[in-house]
Amino acid sequence: MTTRRQILAGAGAAMAFGALGMPLVANAQSKKTVVLASMGPLTGNFDPTSHTTLGQGNFEKIVFSHLTRAPMEEGKTDILEPDLATSWQIIDEHTIEFKLREGVKFHDGKVFGAEDVKATFEYASDPSRPAASYYPGRVDVEVVDPLTVRIKTGKYGYPASTFWFVSSFLPILSADDVAKPDLLQQRPNGTNAFKYVKTEGDRSYLEANEEYFGGRPKIDEIVYAYVPDANTRVLGLMNGEYHIAERLEPEQYESLLSNNTVAVRKGLSTENKYLHFRCNKAPFDDPRIRLAAAHAIDRDQILELMGDAAVASSCFVSPMKFGYTEIENYPRYDPEASARLLEEAGFPGGAGLPQLEYITSIGFYPKTKEYGELIAAMMMEVGFDVQLTVLEPAAWEQAIYRGGDGQGAGHMCDVGWMTGSPEPDLVLRPNWHSGAALINGVSDPEIDASLDKERGTLDPAERLKVLASETFPLMAAKVPSFSLFSAVNFHGAAKNLKGVYYFPSGPIDLSKADFA
Amino acid sequence: MIFALDFFLRRMAQGLVIIVLVAMLIFTLLRVVPGDPVRTMLGPMASAEVAEQTAQKMGLRDPIPVQFAKYVGQVVTGDFGRSFVRSAQGASTGGSRGGATFDASNRAPVMGLILTAVPYSLLLAGLALGISLLISLPIGIAAGLKSGKWPDRLALYLSSIFVSLPNIWLALVLIFLVSVKGGLLPAIGYQNWTYAILPAFVLAIELSPVFIRSASVAVSSNMLEPYVAAGQIRGLSRARMILVHVLRNAMIPLLNVLGIQAIGLLLGSLFVIEYAFNYPGVGLLMINAVFQRDFPVIQAIAILACTLLVLVNILVDFAATNIDRRLQY
């Protein structure tokens, strides 16, 4: 007969065995390690051209360098600084030339040169690459000498100036890696301040690049940890497990302001939040109905609700992007205009309109459910019948994009769009050019033509003018989507961690950071 | 021997039916609720055509019974498949679609992911059970011995408090007070076994009311049995009666509680607590898999958790039958 004692002894032995099997890792005190609690997971593929996910993009920025660096400071969004390129100029409509830095090495020891830029640009801009939509189009690269390249777009019929800002966003790969896609996928091999070491579970380890051309970083190691829960990120920051926590909630930012060990910062991001109308589906296939909906929404009330997490902006791109301007004819809160437009469209007081489904998320962006309810109530005031559908992130992400038949769920969706360079086309073309229109399905030849025109304008000052006087006013008149506000990013960091640079697009630069 | 063989064969057959039903339910539910794993895998800029092609290539557009039959065929050979979103080289996740990303060889085997996480969860669960028994047995036994008196009332009050504390709230409060403010124990993530103490304590608080109640009821009802008085009349001391006979007999219902309620409760709570503490066990793996619609990981953990519960039930019943042969299951 089995006795109680034998059972207990067995259970105890099993527990002890389990415990003994655990790795007991001691903290290395001598190393200067920064543990960064990230809100975005990494992909299983370290080829930067294979994905369009934010978390992975932020991670890549630590390992890979770019031709230029765009700090994207408020009011100075058009500034580019040297990175792997020391100077650059537009040679003609279809040619832009970059002079490259000498003496740079990749993390695997290969010397950086023009052949790497050629391999990277031609590979990344290949339309068959999954992230090709980040780039204006296909290019050929001419190697002038080992440290000079010319990006050429003549064969493909669009101006090379479109790569001006994108040069700060495209990670430069080793030509050897591009030639071996399997190797490229297995580990990131860049020229930036930190080298990739390994991934264990949800933590990826990076170490200081002793040969970094900008000088060895003072931080020895970065642990890039995926921590999906915002509360856990903050508590980990407060108890010292983490040194940087990404994307705090606005309330967490408020409560940490008086904390002695944690420093918090807020900064305008490159992200705007949009209310997308399904333009290829009734009733929003009629621009008058879209305008009526936009006039029904009082954005001041939304801003009040959002508090520190939002900044007013009346434009289709964030103030951190090139081309931002306050659009004069941007739809303002005007219930009377809304009623008049509904009547003109044949739906006086909203009578005859179908029930409209408004899809939003919870747990991804701050307060989406709350301001979703507010928007639904405001639209109902003028006669729209709105049903709010609140979905958790995975279901929401499936619902917002158009399916194979070109249609998407519901009639309106709440979506943000964050991109990694000042280039406005990274927002404008995927969302409002009929060639993509990933969410709203708009197909308007006038908008397409205007987007093509601004892209084709070489002189930056002239391009600004086209955007401000033609493209944006046209979009505001047809309002395929309604930009609600520009989003603010909140970060927390250990108070003694100094010299960290937070890009408004999400990445964090630790090359000059150190513990005070 | 024949009894044991008959017992195990009968109970295993029943258990297998339960496991198949649970697997079928989980498999179907995952595919009918909103949330397409392909979108998580491909990222926001993927076109609808690419998403559809990928889904078809991965068999996600086959009828559910066909998918289930294929899956069962795999599982019976011990292969739980490969993760949709985690790569073979580490526990990285979704959003990529370059070249051979979706080839099976580039995705992590589900069993490997689970086996990496299991020791962490075992440590946590073991510590939680240990702490819980340390808290609840003295309180429960004292309550049973002094039925209707202050130890009994104390047990009732403590149980009521413990059962009223939501585990996620308790977790956050304890991290804040003990780790952030007090600096007494580490929390968040895992560096060594001390990181398991705080989450284990939260789990123990949740488990304790069940143990306190069953220990108290079992002891007090045994104290009323005639054999207690008979033993003392025959010269055995009260202490010996309690320690050797009453506690032994009281173990039977406690074992049942441990097997049926406690393991079930523990499995459910592990998911929440591991997520709150970012503790890298099976629970965190499961929660992240749910967020990312990583079907193979969710299915495998659900099936294995169900199998564990069935096996624990069988073993507990067998142990109880061995302790007291009058019991029949």
- Asked if residue A229 belongs to a domain, the reply is yes
* Residues A468 and A347 reside in one and the same domain: yes
Full domain range(s) for residue A382:
4-10+270-488
Note whether residue A131 is domain-resident. yes
**Of A129, A186, A430, Cβ closest to residue B89:** A186
Q: Are both A304 and A340 inside the same structural domain?
A: yes
| Number of helical H runs and strand E runs in chain B | 14, 2
Rounded Cα–Cα distance for residues B11 and B9 (Å): 6
A20 touches chain B (CB under 8 A): no
CATH number of the domain residue A150 falls in: 3.90.76.10
Give the residue-averaged pLDDT of A435-463.
Answer: 91
pLDDT at A6 > cutoff 70: no
CB A269 within 8 A of CB A486: yes
Q: Are residues A93 and A105 in the same domain?
A: yes
Higher per-residue confidence, A50 vs A83: A83
List the one residue out of A235, A252, A376 whose CA is nearest residue A309.
A252
- What percent of chain A stands above pLDDT 90? 70
Amino acid, res. A511: S
CA distance A475 to A432: 9
Which chain A residues are within 8 Å of B98, Cβ to Cβ? 45, 47, 49-51, 129-130, 181, 185
Residue B93 has pLDDT above 50, yes or no: no
**Which residue in the set A2, A49, A397 is minimally distant from B322, CB to CB?**
A2
Sequence-distant (6+) residues with CB within 8 A of B295 are B30, B31, B37, B84
Q: Which of residues 298-327 of B touch A (CB under 8 A)?
A: 318-319, 322-323, 325
Dihedrals phi, psi of B88, to nearest 5 degrees: -65, -25
Structure confidence at residue A509 as a pLDDT band (50, 70, 90): very high
User: What pLDDT is stored for residue A309 in this prediction?
Assistant: 92
Please report whether residue A364 resides in a domain: yes
Chain A nearest-CA distance from B5, in A, is 15
Peptide bond into B34 cis (omega under 30): no
Residue A242, chain B, CB below 8 Å: the answer is yes
The answer to which of A496-500, A504-508, B261-265 has the lowest mean pLDDT is B261-265
Per-residue pLDDT for A282 more than 50? yes
Residues A382 and A446 in one domain: yes
Q: What is the CATH number of the domain that holds A202?
A: 3.40.190.10
Same domain membership, residue A196 and residue A146: no
Q: A434 and A309, same structural domain?
A: yes
Between the alpha carbon of residue A494 and those of residues A14, A216, A261, A491, the distances in Å are 40, 22, 6, 10
Domain containing residue A350: CATH number: 3.10.105.10
Residue B325 has a pLDDT of 66
- Single out the residue in A154, A177, A200 at which a domain terminates: A177
| Cβ pair A52:B292 closer than 8 A | no
Residue B9 or residue A54, greater confidence: B9
Strand-pair category, A221-226 with A244-245: unpaired
Q: Is A460 buried (19+), middle (13-18) or exposed (0-12) by CB count in 10 A?
A: middle
Domains identified in chain A, total number = 3
The reply to whether A414 falls in a domain is yes
**Chain A touched by B263 (CB under 8 Å):** no
Whether B96 and A44 lie within 8 Å, measured CB to CB: yes
Q: Identify the pLDDT of residue B43.
A: 65
Q: Is the pLDDT of residue A55 over 70?
A: yes
Contact B45, B317 (CB under 8 A): no
Buried b or exposed e, range B197-226, using 16+ CB within 10 angstroms: bbbbbbbbbbbbbbbbbbbbbbbbebbeee
- Flag whether residue B182 sits within 8 Å of chain A, measured between CB atoms: no
In chain A, whose CA is at the least distance from the CA of B100? A182
Distance CA(A171)–CA(A316), nearest Å, equals 26
Give me the percent of chain B exceeding a pLDDT of 70.
88
**pLDDT > 70: what percent of chain A?**
94
C-beta atoms of B323 and A204 within 8 A: no
Same domain, A41 and A135: no
- Dist. CA B164–CA B200, nearest whole Å: 18
pTM: 0.82
CA distance B198 to chain A (A): 13
Q: Which of A224, A397, A400 to mutate to test the interface with B (most CBs of B within 10 A)?
A: A397
Measure in Å the smallest separation between the Cα of A44 and chain B Cα atoms. Answer: 4
Q: Which amino acid is at A92?
A: D
- A182 in a structural domain: no
pLDDT at A181 over 50: yes
Tokens at residue B209, please? 């009311």
The answer to whether the Cβ–Cβ distance between B120 and A22 falls below 8 Å is: yes
Q: Walk me through the domains of chain B, giving residue ranges and CATH numbers.
A: 2-111 (no CATH), 113-323 (1.10.3720.10)
Shared domain for A331 and A433, answered yes or no, is yes
* pLDDT per residue as tens digits for the range A341-395: 999 999 999 999 999 999 999 878 889 999 999 999 999 999 999 999 998 877 8
Q: Tell me the count of A-B CB pairs closer than 8 A.
A: 226
The CA distance from B92 to A101, in Å, is 33
Count of beta carbons in the 10 Å neighbourhood of residue A250? 17
* Nearest CB to A404 within list B39, B49, B278: B49
What confidence score (pLDDT) does residue A20 get? Answer: 42
Contacts of A257 (CB under 8 A, 6+ apart): A264
Residue A25 within any structural domain of the chain: yes
Q: What is the pLDDT of residue B51?
A: 74
**Contact check, Cβ <8 Å, B35/A394:** yes
Residue A156 clears pLDDT 70, i.e. is over it: yes
Does A262 score more than 80 pLDDT? Answer: yes
| Whole-number pLDDT of residue A12 | 47
Count Cβ atoms below 10 Å from residue B175 Cβ, excluding itself: 28
A300 and A165 housed in the same domain:
no
Dihedral sign from CA coordinates of A251, A257, A259, A264: positive
pLDDT at B9: 87
Q: What is the pLDDT of residue B98?
A: 44
Judge if A25 and A154 occupy the same domain.
Answer: no
**pLDDT greater than 70 at residue A112:** yes
Using CB atoms within 10 Å of the CB of residue A112, give its burial: 0 to 12 exposed, 13 to 18 middle, 19+ buried: buried
Name the pLDDT band for A18 (thresholds 50, 70, 90).
Answer: very low
Please provide residue A505's backbone torsions phi and psi, each rounded to the nearest 5 degrees.
Answer: -95, 0
Q: Which of A12-16, A329-333, B155-159, B268-272 has the lowest mean pLDDT?
A: A12-16
- Give yes or no for B169 touching A (CB within 8 A): no
Give the residue with greater pLDDT, A472 vs A366.
A472
- The answer, yes or no, to whether residue B77 has pLDDT greater than 80, is yes
Please say which residue of A142, A158, A177 terminates a domain.
Answer: A177
pLDDT(A404) > 80: no
Both A452 and A344 in one domain: the answer is yes
Quick one: pLDDT band at residue B106, thresholds 50, 70, 90?
low
* Same domain assignment for residues A248 and A275: no
pLDDT band at B328 (very low <50, low <70, confident <90, very high): low
Q: What is the 3-state secondary structure (H, E, C) of A324-349?
A: CCCCCCCCCCCHHHHHHHHHHCCCHH
| pLDDT at res. A26 | 41
User: Are A335 and A295 within 8 A, CB to CB?
Assistant: yes
Higher pLDDT: A130 or B159? It is B159
Which positions 1-30 of B are in contact with A (Cβ < 8 Å)? none
Cβ under 8 Å to B: A residues 111-150 = 129-131, 133-134
Q: Is the pLDDT of residue B21 over 70?
A: yes
Among A152, A177, A202, identify where a domain stops: A177
Residue A125 Cα to chain centre, angstroms: 19
Cβ of residue B180 closer than 8 Å to a chain A Cβ = yes
DSSP string, B89-158: TSS--S-B--TTTTSGGGEEEHHHHHHHHHHHHHHHHHHHHHHHHHHHHHHHHHHHHTTTSHHHHHHHHH
Q: Which DSSP helix (H) or strand (E) runs through B271?
A: helix B263-276
Q: What is the mean pLDDT of residues A488-509?
A: 94
